[in-house]
Amino acid sequence: MREVNVKDISDAVRDLSIETNCILGEVEVAFIKKMLDVEESETGKEILSMVLENARIAREEGIPICQDTGFAVVFIDLGQDVHLVGGDLSEAVADGVARGYTEGYLRKSILSDPIKRENTGDNTPPVIHLTMVPGEKVKVTLAPKGGGSENMSEVKMLKPSDGIEGVKDFVVERVVTSGGNPCPPVVVGVGIGGTFEKCAFLAKKALLRPLGERHPDAFYADIEVELLRRINNSGVGPQGLGGRVTALDVHIETHPCHIASLPAAVNLNCHASRHGERTI
């Protein structure tokens, strides 16, 4: 049994809050550069170039990539041989978010109540997804989730008879209907199976996979490629102003489901697919 002080988790969350909001990952930057050769629209090329310049300035000056620094979504893989000490885990994560967003001068976007609409002032509380895993380590992944892309997400309870073609059509329609609202080029997370809430979680988790990394099952890997092609042939283009590059990638995650169900979910990220991780 290994002891881990929750203060170490809090510190990791604090650092990740700032880093992920100010530094676009090398993989994401490389993908956008590659898309410059794919994009045929002059307007689209100009937008992608501006996106890259924006990322450069944010990295060099230590300022946010986007003014919307998002809802702090935290994924924790907790080793079953870890004994947490020093306080409450949820409180420690919230403390890390509060410190990161305050000390990093990041916009605070979270309301204490969805109807009363009063800002909490420190971007807390976060959303925490906790998963028990083998071992004696703790992996902390933070993914700031902007409101624009999140608002374009959807869960649909399809009929089993709709099959995979129904799922594909749903995904493509969701992205195309979203147009420029999620600030394309987007990263498309797709969850298939499970229950109503499980498929939504899968879609969000799918966004954490590195760009260009295909699903381990060749069947779903082929579908990811097909969906990416269909979405990029839609003509939505960068910022919804037309072109060939509407999405950078499509990632699918699945889970067993009930014989009477076929849940599917789409969760979109803008080009700034922000996430980072620390292992303690």
Please give, one letter per residue, the 3-state secondary structure of 201-245. HHHHHHCCCCCCCCCCCHHHHHHHHHHHHHHHCCCCCHHHCCCCC
pTM (two decimals)? 0.95
pLDDT in tens, 127-181: 999 999 999 999 999 999 999 999 999 999 999 999 999 999 999 999 999 999 9
Please state the domain extents for the chain. 2-20+65-145, 148-273
| pLDDT band for position 104 (cuts 50, 70, 90) | very high
The average pLDDT across 247-254 equals 98
pLDDT of residue 42: 96
The answer to whether 55 touches 65, Cβ cutoff 8 Å, is yes
Residues 6+ apart with CB under 8 A from 30: none
Closest Cα to residue 53, out of 32, 71, 38, 74?
Answer: 32
Please report, rounded to a whole number, the percentage of residues in the chain having pLDDT higher than 90.
99
